[in-house]
Every structure is written in structure tokens, then in C-alpha cells.
Chains A and B, each alone.
Chain A
Amino acid sequence: MLRILQRTSRLRRAPRHLCLQSPASCTAQFLPVGSQRPPPIWGSAQLVLFSHKLHNGTDQSPAAAPERRTFSRVSEDDLAFFRKILPGRAITDPDLVESSNVDWLKSVRGSSEVLLRPQTTEEISQILRYCNSRNLAVNPQGGNTGLVGGSVPVYDEIILSTSLMNNIVSFDNISGILTCQAGCILESLSLFLEERDHIMPLDLGAKGSCQIGGNVATNAGGLRLLRYGSLHGTVLGLEVVLADGRVLDCLATLRKDNTGYDLKQLFIGSEGTLGVITAVSILCPRKPKSVNVVFLGCKTFEQLLKTFQLCRGMLGEILSAFEFLDSECMRLLNTHLKLANPISACPFYIVIETSGSDPSHDAQKLHNFLEEAITSLLVTDGTVATEESKIKALWSLRERVTEALTHEGFNYKYDISLPVERIYQLVTDTRQHLGGRAKSVMGYGHLGDGNLHLNITSPAKDPALLATIEPFVYEWTARYHGSISAEHGLGLKKRNYIYYSKSSQAVALMGHIKAMLDPKGILNPYKTLPDNLK
């Protein structure tokens, strides 16, 4: 059927060939009528074949950068233009551009020589119009906290930073609708809203650096998704500058507006490849009067799942977060960040947050839940926090795991969506599969959303270990109809794995949309969509 091939051009043909060839096999796997689950994207034989081709078909890893496309290179005339429209904000000093060329994980480095820092939508419009006409590639950049290499240049793309676009335009106290520029840092918005008795509908560990434009462009999930939903629901409007400089004003502040296609949804999660988001209007919930955080310990994952069910039943309407981490994560927190375990050592830990409007009601509900959890022996130990300082301390045990991991060595990070019951099975299977080859294998994440952060560490980058981990993890995920990138996005590193979770018809349509909105492909090239897309 398919020979082992060496050039990426053949890789380009392979998946389409597979799908055209085997509709029969696909339907053969069709689930019985009345079943809720959609048919698998791959039959298991095709899956193994596809992933084999992806990982062994070419000389380099599917995550490695492709060849530089035929974009223009930045000339002195170009620099003169940028300096004219952005006086003092067109940066070419290598020392200053350096930090924007490297991602937060220090895992990818670009070689851009130009960093632009506009302050207004109009400036971005002028820049993109110019770059489009000159065929110059552009890399939109917010807080540069992404984990899939999507926020930094691959080659010499011009870095377009939104850091100086940090104005809050308006806030309506009655509806809770906030309108702001894309460069506002999430934590700053949170502080602004707190003083007005509201909170942002999303929260993540990177809040001190990440910007709302980037959050929207990556459809960031975070710790509150369980309660307030995703950005697809909470973002009410966007202002976007398209590749040719046209400004698309969809910055409505209406809760309901069914007039035509909902264009903003295209840009949410588009990772800067369809347009540059310049302003956001977002629906913000009221600040809860009563917040409690509970830190629990469980002996087995089954007990953890039962605790989750109990929690949903007894705390349901006040539940705002349900996160978990395993004992390996705790070990890293103790060792590298000197954060002490607030309870006794357990194989699994849960962080539960409740948010409600009445402290005494919530305390009663929480008390009932905890009593039930203890007496039915689902939970072996735990502690509760109602005070701000203690709440922060307990949350840091979950929020700082990513940071602790960076001290342990080289990280292999996987952000997987799976049916909740299966989440930890991937961790145990991976541990077994790797034997003792990795330094540590651990899992943590948004259990309530079915989102696992699987992390493997080794003292230094190890291609042999990587070859053992991939495609094992991806195949495993596809087999259980999961997502190979639950919330981190595809960026540079995961662009070629898209077929594990999306059909080729879907990806082809994505390609059409990209070609329509950005015919020259200047916006964040080499990212999000796979290399083999025509």
C-alpha cells in the first residue's frame, strides 16, 4: 500500500490517500445506531499506519520546523517605514529582541530581527497592510507564555507585540461586560474587576504575564472553565485586523446577537493565523462573596473519581474548580519550590474550589460534602481554606507544578483531553511503556474538564526517549477518541498531529479558510495547520 518515503511531499499525500482508500473500513467501525459517540476518525489499523508514517516517514520529527517559505526579508526601507509609523517602538537592538525570540519553556528560538510594539489598532492595520504588500511574514505575540512554540518566530518573521495595547476601554457594572485592548495582562484585568465586584471568567497559572488577546487567540481554558465555560461562550465581541490590514469590527457588547454568521468564533483559538486580535469584549461574572478551597488526598484514582461524582452531586452549583495532581507532582513541589505538603502523603491530591453568594450556605454544603467524603472513606486526608492567604497557598500547589517541572530537567509535555474515567490510565500506561527510561512520569490537570497534563522528564533532551513516548501517547489518545491538545493549541510543535483528532475533510476546510483570509500566508506561518496541507 504505502512505501516508507522520505520527503515531506509524500507525507502530504499519505493521509488523504488513506482516507480515500478506506471509507469502508471507517464505516465498518461505525458504532451501533443510537450510540452517542461519533465514529472514530481512524480505524485502529489505519491509525497505526498513519502515525507510523508521520513519525518514521521523514528524516526529522513532525514537531521540527519546516523549511523557510519564500517570504521577503526585512530591508532598510522596511525598517524606515516601521520607524516612521512607530517612532521609538520599532526595535532592532538584538538584546531587546532576544527575549521575544524565545518561548517561556526555552524550547524554541526564532531569529527575528525586528520587534514592533504598536499602541493602536490603526498602527497594526498599517503594519499588516504594508507587510502583506511586501510579502513579509508576521508573528503576533502577546505574553509569550504559550507552551507549543506558537508565540515565537520560527525564522525571521517580524514580531508584532501587543504589549503596549493595554488600555481598558469600558466596563459596564450592570451587565458585567468588559471591553479592552488585546495587550491587557490577565492579572491586571482581574485586579481592575475585583475593585468593581467582578472577576474574569478565566484564570490560569500564567496570569501575571499572559495577555487577553493571546488567551482568546489560543482559546485558553484554565482553572475556571468548569464553572464559567470556555472563551467561545464568554467572549462577546472581537476587533481583529486581517492579513491585508482591513479592520474587522465585531466588537459587539451584546449577550445575544443572531444576525448572520458569528465570525468571532473563527478567530477564537485561531492562534494568530487568521487575524490579529486587537480588542476584546468579554462577559465577566460577579465576584463570589464566598470562596472556599479544599485540598484532599485520595488513595486510588477510583476513589478520586467517586469523590468527583460526590462533589458534583453535593456541591454542584457552587463548584468552580476541580483539579488533581499526583504524588510525583507533590514531590517536585517539595523539592524544587520548597512548598510543603499541607496534608499527609497520598498517591493523589485534589484541589476543589467553591464560589457562591452566601458564606453560611456554602460552608454548610461543604461541611456535608466533606463529612460524607470522610465517612465513606473516599478521602484519606484533607484541609480547608477560607482565608485569602491560605486559599492562595493551596492554589499555588496546583498552579506552580508547571514551574516546578522546569527545574527537574527537560520536559516532554502532553495536554490531552480524554473521557474522565480514562485520564490516569494514560499516565500509568505511559509509565509502564517507558520502563525506567524517563526520570519521572506524572499527571495533573483539570479533572473536571477531562483534561490531563501528562509530563515526562529526563535530565537532558533525549531523542531516543522522545521516540518511545511519541507516537505512543498520541496513538493512545486517538484510540480513546481524545484530543491531542486539549487547551494548549497546536502552535509549531503539534501542528502535524492534528490528524490524530480531526478528520482530513475538517483540516482541508481549515486550509480553505486560511487561504481565503490570508492568501499570502503571512500571519504566524509554520503554525497550527499541518505541513502537508496544500
Chain B
Amino acid sequence: MSGRVLVGVKRVIDYAVKIRVKPDHTGVVTDGVKHSMNPFCEIAVEEAVKLKEKKLIQEVVAVSCGPQQSQETIRTALAMGADRGIHVEVSGKDYDSLGPLQVSKILAALAKKEEAQLVILGKQAIDDDCNQTGQMTAALLDWPQGTFASEVSLEAGKVKVVREIDGGLETIKINTPAVLTADLRLNTPRYATLPNIMKAKKKKIANMKPADLGVDLTSRLEVLRVDEPPQRQAGMKVETVEDLVGKLKEAGKV
């Protein structure tokens, strides 16, 4: 099956960075903080590039919605093997309130415009943990969805997806075009090698605005307050069982 795969990549705060809440509790500090591609999006890109290397699909298009810096994230996808990129520019207040609903509208519009066979996304982003964009995109397109994919195989006109679910693994077969979301064990993303990093600088990234796709960015959510989780209290060591019972009684637990 030849065709085009759309991969969504999100720019998030790097997972190794210590997160700090803004003093006004409206969000977390992002200025001057190291950002990188969402790890699950990396896995999505890797899967798309693998499909291309197996000659099962023809073109991988990386998409990101966000401010100017999102272009770096697209470049990383290009360095991993994506063919071209699309940067949907969203900045300022619009970016602060950008969530799965708006992004899924954008991706759905792009999937139609680009005549994509597959839309592959990460299962969730590590900053908001929403796990909604893939599902919403599929619903807006009225396409089947294979979420939490740990194994993907393409067959004529269909995709076989092994899904990680609470009870174990579930295997489904869905028609294309479809939306897939990548789970941790789908693959191990490659390091972008130098020749590809150099090539990526020459690949095209198209620019557009949500309005160009007819998407309305109004959010139905309002963030009231952001707080750090309560500090973990230090534990206490006791010498004997009697001590333990005594301390539990003191704390009113027994």
C-alpha cells in the first residue's frame, strides 16, 4: 500500500528537567527551560519512518502546532527520516489554551487536505497526560482508531494493531484510512544520525495558520490554578513492633 502518513509531534518540556510552578500559579515555568519532542511522538515518528523503509508507505509528513520553536521539533522528526514538515503556527494566549480538541480539529483538517492514509500520534503528551488527541481526531474524521499500539502491521487496505490494555494485549484489524496512537513498546526511536541531520536542514517545512484550515481555536476549558504536589514527608524508623504500634496509635491510625 503506498500513501502518505501524517505524524503529529508535540514540543514539550524535556522529561529530565525539574518542573517548577510559576509564582502566580497559572502554569509551569517554560521560559528558558529545555524543551524536546514528546517521547511518545518520537515513537510515532519512528514507526512511520520504519513503514517507509519497508516501502509500505511513500511519504511521512511531520506536523506540529505551536509557536516558532515548534519548528525545531519538526526538524528533529525530519532528521529521523520524515520527508517534509507542516508547522501550524499558534502562539500567545491561543497557545496557552491549545488543547486536544483544537489540535484534533487541526489534524483532522490536515489529514483530509493531505489525503493521508494513516495518522500516527503518540498516545499522550507528557505535559498534560490527556490521551485524547488521537481519539478525538479519529472521531472528527469518522475513521477507525488503533490506540495504545504496541505492534502495527499493514495489510491490503487494513491495519492490524496489537493494543496494550489493562487485561493484557488486544489484537484488532481496522480499515484504512485510520488513526493510530503509539504506546511505549511499539519501538525504540533511533538517534538521528549526522548525514540525516544534515539532510534535514534542506527539507521543507510549510507554514500555515489554523484559520487557513478553517479551525476555531476557542477553548472550552479554563485553568483555575496550578499547584505542586504536596511535599513527601520523611518517614520514620522504629526499632520494635511495640514502637510501631505506639506511633500508629499516636497518629490516630489505629
Contacts and interface: CB of A to CB of B under 8 A. Distances in A.
Q: Which of B17, B32, B192 has the most CB of A within 10 A?
A: B192
Given A388-B16, A389-B14, A371 B198 contact: yes
Interface in A348-402: 367, 370-371, 374, 379, 381-390, 392
Interface string B1-35: 00000000000001111000000000000001011
Nearest to B39: A389
B193 A382 contact: yes
A384 B16 contact: no
A5 interface: no
B198 A390 contact: no
Nearest to B201: A367
Contact of B16 (A343, A371, A374, A392): A392
A387 B15 CA distance: 9
Nearest to A370: B194
B68 to A, nearest CB: 12
B192 A384 contact: yes
Interface size range on B against A: 10 to 19
Interface in B113-158: none
Contacts of A383: 191-194, 197
A379 to B, nearest CB: 7
Nearest to A384: B197
Nearest to B20: A195
B214 interface: no
A93 B234 CA distance: 26
B46 to A, nearest CB: 14
Contacts of B193: 343-344, 381-383
Contact of B195 (A296, A374, A387): A374
Interface string A279-306: 0000000000100000110000000000
B233 interface: no
B231 interface: no
Interface in A317-351: 340, 342-344
B207 interface: no
B187 interface: no
B53 to A, nearest CB: 15
Q: Which of B35, B36, B192, B194 has the most CB of A within 10 A?
A: B194
B191 A389 contact: no
Contacts of B191: 295, 342-343, 383, 385, 390
Contacts of A382: 193-194
Interface string B176-205: 000000000000100111110110010000
| SS class, residues of chain B in contact with chain A | loop
A517 B152 CA distance: 72
Interface residues of A, number: 23
Contacts of B36: 386-390
Contacts of A289: 32
Contacts of A386: 36
Contact of A370 (B16, B17, B35, B198): B198
Nearest to A195: B18
A392 B17 CA distance: 11
Contacts of B17: 388
Interface in B62-88: none
A370 B34 contact: no
A386 B72 CA distance: 11
A389 B16 CA distance: 5
B201 A379 contact: no
Contacts of A385: 191
A387 B12 CA distance: 11
Nearest to B188: A340
Q: Which of A289, A374, A388 has the most CB of B within 10 A?
A: A388
Contact of B34 (A342, A343, A367, A387): A387
A390 B189 CA distance: 12
Interface in A58-79: none
A500 to B, nearest CB: 41
Interface in A416-472: none
Given A367-B201, A387-B36, A388-B36, A379 B194 contact: yes
A418 B170 CA distance: 60
A339 to B, nearest CB: 12
A389 B15 contact: yes
Contacts of B37: 387
Contacts of B14: 387-389
A390 B36 CA distance: 9
A390 B191 CA distance: 9
Contacts of B201: 367
A296 B197 CA distance: 13
A367 B201 CA distance: 10
A385 to B, nearest CB: 8
Nearest to B192: A383
Contacts of A379: 194
A340 B36 CA distance: 21
B159 to A, nearest CB: 28
A381 B192 CA distance: 10
A386 B79 CA distance: 13
A343 B17 CA distance: 25
A370 B192 CA distance: 14
Interface in A122-170: none
Contacts of A392: 16
Contacts of A387: 14, 16, 34-37
Nearest to B13: A388
A296 B192 CA distance: 12
Contacts of A295: 191
B150 to A, nearest CB: 19
A173 B154 CA distance: 58
Contacts of A384: 192, 194, 197
A408 B248 CA distance: 48
A289 B34 CA distance: 10
A388 B34 contact: yes
Contacts of B197: 370, 383-384
B55 to A, nearest CB: 22
A382 B34 CA distance: 22
A235 to B, nearest CB: 28
A366 B26 CA distance: 37
Interface in B90-123: none
Contacts of A342: 191
A396 B117 CA distance: 39
B38 to A, nearest CB: 11
A197 to B, nearest CB: 10
Contacts of A389: 14-16, 36
21 contacts: A296-B194, A340-B188, A343-B191, A343-B193, A344-B193, A370-B194, A370-B198, A381-B193, A382-B193, A383-B191, A383-B193, A384-B194, A385-B191, A387-B36, A388-B16, A388-B17, A388-B34, A389-B15, A390-B36, A390-B191, A392-B16
10 cross-chain pairs, A with B, having the tightest CB-CB distances, nearest first: A387-B36, A342-B191, A388-B16, A382-B194, A383-B191, A389-B16, A388-B14, A388-B34, A387-B14, A383-B193
Given A289-B32, A388-B17, 12 more contacts: A295-B191, A343-B191, A367-B201, A374-B194, A374-B198, A381-B193, A381-B194, A383-B197, A386-B36, A388-B16, A388-B36, A389-B15
